[in-house]
Amino acid sequence: MIIEQILNDKGREVITLRADDTLRAAARLLDERRIGAAVTLDADGEIVGVLSERDIVRQFAREGEAALEMKVGNAMTRAVITITADAPIDQALQLMTDRRIRHLPVVRNNRLTGFVSIGDLVKWKIAETEAEAQAMKSYLSAQF
């Protein structure tokens, strides 16, 4: 199974931020949309970062309430790790585990085409495992 299949199922809408948004505005957006991270784009639509709940909490721990007026560009993760839509789900899971991240922007020709979370991937892996178990039960029932 590949990332494209997850995007086809869940949709391709990606919630984005601008680097000059405040952390207060970003936190509100994450809360309203019930998501854990958003991609930060520049004026040309290029990915310049990812802002996660962890990034906001980290800044709040360091700066206190003043962090809420900090710009997203000063708090986001700039070394963005991406994946392509034709990558296997297992590759994405391994990448997330190795890099200790929970969100991956999906790109095609260096353009953002989707966003997957560890929850999206685990959901698909569970469904795949359950389908395999059911197929095995059906096979064994037919044999005996």
What domains can you pick out in the chain, each with its CATH number?
3-143 (3.10.580.10)
What is the distance between the alpha carbons of residues 75 and 69, in angstroms, rounded to a whole number?
A: 11
Res. 33 pLDDT band, cuts 50 70 90: very high
Among 56-60, 61-65, 128-132, the least confident range: 128-132
- Does residue 134 register a pLDDT over 90? no
Q: Which residues lie across from 77 on neighbouring strands?
A: 50
What is the distance between the alpha carbons of residues 85 and 108, in angstroms, rounded to a whole number?
A: 7
Strand 47-52 and strand 83-84: the pairing is: unpaired
Mean pLDDT of 74-101: 95
Q: At what angle do helices 89-99 and 118-143 cross, to 10 degrees?
A: 130
Q: Which two tokens stand for residue 137?
A: 């039960």
Helices (H), 65-115: 72-75, 89-99
For residue range 40-56, list pLDDT tens digits in order.
999 999 999 999 999 99
Mean pLDDT of 27-39: 97
**Structure confidence at residue 19 (pLDDT):** 97
Bin 50: left if φ > 0, else alpha if -120 < ψ < 50, else beta. Answer: beta
What size, in residues, is the chain? 144
